[in-house]
């Protein structure tokens, strides 16, 4: 068991901050719902954590008798499969931790029994289309990995964050990030890779206009499932359209070619909304305000 | 030249009324813009002419020195290619006309020189997504064909109306109508055929809810052209999705299977809007009001 020199129950904490990311070639549709494996590659831009971000503190103490989490100050259940997947995968990889100053030593095997408390806070609207779950699960995976002294290799952490929320894997890197869909049924090759870091294109400015801070009527998870089941256009998109656009987008980013970058981003965003509309019953993530906005930025 | 017994300039008139039609499997995209040949078959329901219809009076007189037209009481130009196509095709087929009572005789060859006046009136909003041009060109072709004593054969009249506005060919028949896209470059096999007449399914009631009577921001012609040029999903829709749906819809109509009929109609309407959204720049024919309506009727 974990030991401490003193007799008082100790606590060990890590705080991390993760930015949200905005896909420029969209992820929509899973081939495996449990492991969260997508039907196509996607590319995103990670925002500056000074603007839209999640801040998460994870704490471990022998005094905790269950895993608990607070989101924006309100306790939420960790019983969902996604939280359980993340916690399980993280714990499996936990290493020895030693804090000499505090006189704490936790061995690898102790982590199975130790419970964690998690406090997470978004500085932007939650579940309103701003990828709060991406920032949230990236931050959770990252903070827990630090707390449990996990040595990250080959995008393994992005693969764990992915099991919390698909697009979370992309928030573990700055700059321009590609989530490679992978081929393996285990999902080990479905990871995020950085295409270019945040200094590659530093005069690119992203403006986030919040047209509504209400929660989405349809969650991404439910929406994707319905699109997979009912949209005839989605499969053509993922098999034919996206692979071509991924190559074009990688080239646009490499060359800092704003015109191609903007054209592809707009076209792919609109195609994602088109697939939502092609779903039965149709899903709408735009309203008349965003509609006017889209018209403006496509000119 | 046309002759009359009296010395006063005579006038000969025909008035016709055509209903509008609402596609249940949509036409969107032309393979030939001049002849108006579509990239897929479509199926529509013709509405009751007592409700939404165009009423057109065509008149011929030796006193007229040019072809002229009034739409909803306002003179409009006939110089556009579509009006010219219709007038040319109709005149080419004109026959001998004799009105014994009035003592008027017009020979086939006279029609090339005689000019017509056309007065057309829609009892519903024009260019607001209610297929006013379908009713309008169907009525124009039909009224002129009556005036010029044209013997209709093998859907030839629908092929002429089609050159005014694609979906007009479907308004020449009541009940359930299929516009067969055809294969020939001349367009002679791109005609409307009646699948079932208006008594086939007489407890089917169509409710038209006008959510906005403003003119569309993008005309169908411009919209289709942009979709053909920029939507990657449209081609898949026309080649793969629609042929399947046409068969399913024909079966649903044959069996008066309301559930399949409604499901296919909603899915195809939404897919049409999806393709509009997949166009660059995107086209929106829905607003927040129609959006709420769509959600309701898909339940």
Q: What is the three-state SS of B173-210?
A: CCCEEEECCCCCCCCCCCCEEEEECCCCCCCCCCCCCC
Predicted confidence band of residue B8 (pLDDT cuts 50, 70, 90): confident
- Tell me the whole-structure pTM to 2 decimals: 0.86
Predicted confidence band of residue A4 (pLDDT cuts 50, 70, 90): low
Q: Pick from A277, A283, A299 the residue to mutate for testing the B interface (most B CBs within 10 Å).
A: A277
- Lowest mean pLDDT, pick from A26-35, B49-58, B67-76, B120-129: B120-129
Q: What is the pLDDT of residues B110-162, one digit of tens each?
A: 999 999 999 999 998 777 677 789 999 999 999 999 999 998 777 889 999 99
Token couple for A252: 């646009």
The answer to whether B274 contacts chain A (CB < 8 Å) is yes
Cβ neighbours, 10 Å, residue A90: 23
Is the bond preceding A285 in cis, omega lying within 30 degrees of 0?
A: no
Q: Is the Cα dihedral A188, A189, A192, A197 positive or negative?
A: positive
pLDDT at A111 over 70: yes
Report how many helices (DSSP H) and strands (DSSP E) chain B contains, helices first: 8, 14
Provide the edge-to-edge strand list for the sheet that holds A97-99. A3-4, A104-106, A97-99
- As a 3-state breakdown, chain B gives helix, strand, coil percent values, each rounded to 5, of 35, 20, 40
Note whether A169 and A138 are within 8 A (CB). Answer: yes
The question of ipTM being above 0.90 is answered as: no
The answer to whether A211 contacts chain B (CB < 8 Å) is no
Q: Which residues lie below 8 Å from residue A151, measured CB to CB, with a gap of 6+?
A: A95
Give pLDDT, residue B11.
94
Give pLDDT, residue B299.
44
Q: What is the mean pLDDT of residues A206-222?
A: 84
Q: What is the mean pLDDT of residues A182-205?
A: 95
- Residues 134 through 163 of chain B touching chain A, CB cutoff 8 Å: none
Cβ neighbours, 10 Å, residue B234: 25
The answer to whether A189 contacts chain B (CB < 8 Å) is no
Give the chain B residue whose CA is nearest to the CA of A286: B288
Token couple for B76: 């409009």
Note whether A248 and A263 are within 8 A (CB). Answer: no
Radius of gyration of chain B (CA): 20
Average per-residue pLDDT in chain B? 92
Considering only CA atoms, which of A19, A25, A28, A144 is closest in space to residue A83?
A: A144
Residue B93 to residue B152: CA distance in whole angstroms: 9
Give the chain A residue whose CA is nearest to the CA of B294: A282
Token couple for B174: 């009541």
Of A230, A273, A299, the CB nearest to B281: A299
Contact A282 B288 (CB under 8 A): no
pLDDT at A131 over 60: yes
Token couple for A89: 């995968």
Residue A70 to residue A57: CA distance in whole angstroms: 10
Give pLDDT, residue A145.
96
Give pLDDT, residue B82.
93
Contact B271 A263 (CB under 8 A): no
Predicted confidence band of residue B297 (pLDDT cuts 50, 70, 90): low
- Lowest mean pLDDT, pick from A120-134, A171-185, B62-76, B261-275: A120-134
Residue A68 to residue B7: CA distance in whole angstroms: 101
Write out chain A residues lying below 8 Å of B266, CB-based: 280-281
Q: What is the mean pLDDT of residues B52-68?
A: 96
Predicted confidence band of residue A217 (pLDDT cuts 50, 70, 90): confident
Degrees, nearest 5: CA angle B223-B225-B228: 110
Provide the pairing of β-strand B37-38 with A37-38: unpaired
Q: What kind and span of H or E run contains A160?
A: helix A156-162
Residue A193 three-state SS? strand
Give the chain A residue whose CA is nearest to the CA of B275: A274
The answer to whether B237 contacts chain A (CB < 8 Å) is yes
Contact A233 B236 (CB under 8 A): yes
Residue A168 to residue B292: CA distance in whole angstroms: 31
Give pLDDT, residue B298.
52
Percentage of chain B beyond pLDDT 70 is 95
Q: What is the mean pLDDT of residues B233-248?
A: 98
pLDDT at B5 over 60: no
Smallest CA–CA separation between A243 and chain B, in Å? 13
- Lowest mean pLDDT, pick from A241-245, B126-130, B247-251: B126-130
- Lowest mean pLDDT, pick from A188-192, B3-7, B23-27, B87-91: B3-7
The answer to whether A70 contacts chain B (CB < 8 Å) is no
The answer to whether A282 contacts chain B (CB < 8 Å) is yes
Q: What is the mean pLDDT of residues A101-120?
A: 94
Residue B188 to residue A109: CA distance in whole angstroms: 80
Residue B78 to residue B70: CA distance in whole angstroms: 10
Of A241, A266, A277, the CB nearest to B232: A241
Q: How far is CA B64 from CA B71, B80, B115, B150, B281, in A?
A: 18, 20, 6, 21, 45
The answer to whether A275 contacts chain B (CB < 8 Å) is yes
Write out chain B residues lying below 8 Å of A277, CB-based: 270-271, 273-274, 277
Give the chain A residue whose CA is nearest to the CA of B268: A278
Give the chain B residue whose CA is nearest to the CA of A285: B291
Q: Which residues, listed in sequence order, are joined to residue B193 by a DSSP beta bridge?
A: B178
Give pLDDT, residue A299.
44
Q: What is the mean pLDDT of residues A268-282?
A: 96
Of A237, A277, A287, the CB nearest to B277: A277
């Amino acid at each position: 068991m974990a030991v401490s020199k003193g007799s008082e129950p100790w606590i060990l904490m890590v705080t991390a901050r993760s930015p949200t990311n905005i896909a420029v070639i969209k992820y929509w549709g899973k081939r495996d719902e449990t492991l969260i494996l997508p039907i196509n590659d996607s590319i995103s831009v990670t925002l500056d954590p000074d603007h839209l971000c999640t801040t998460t503190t994870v704490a471990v103490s022998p005094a905790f008798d269950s895993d608990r989490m607070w989101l924006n100050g309100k306790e939420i259940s960790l019983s969902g499969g996604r939280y359980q997947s993340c916690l399980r995968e993280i714990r499996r990889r936990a290493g020895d931790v030693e804090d000499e100053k505090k006189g704490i030593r936790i061995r690898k095997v102790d982590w199975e029994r130790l419970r964690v408390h998690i406090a997470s806070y978004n500085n932007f609207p939650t579940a309103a289309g701003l990828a709060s779950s991406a920032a949230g699960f990236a931050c959770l995976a990252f903070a827990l990995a630090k707390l449990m002294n996990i040595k990250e290799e080959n995008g393994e952490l992005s693969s764990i964050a992915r099991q919390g929320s698909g697009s979370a894997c992309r928030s573990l890197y700055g700059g321009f990030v590609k989530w490679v869909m992978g081929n393996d049924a285990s999902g080990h090759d479905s990871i995020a890779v950085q295409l270019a870091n945040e200094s590659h294109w530093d005069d690119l400015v992203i403006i986030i206009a919040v047209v509504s801070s209400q929660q989405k009527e349809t969650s991404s998870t439910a929406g994707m499932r319905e699109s997979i089941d009912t949209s005839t256009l989605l499969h053509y998109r993922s098999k034919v359209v996206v692979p071509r656009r991924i190559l074009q987008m990688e080239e646009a980013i490499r060359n800092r070619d704003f015109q191609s970058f903007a054209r592809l981003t707009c076209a792919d965003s609109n195609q994602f909304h088109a697939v939502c509309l092609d779903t039965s019953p149709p899903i709408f993530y735009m309203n008349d305000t965003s509609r006017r906005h889209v018209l403006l930025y496509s000119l």
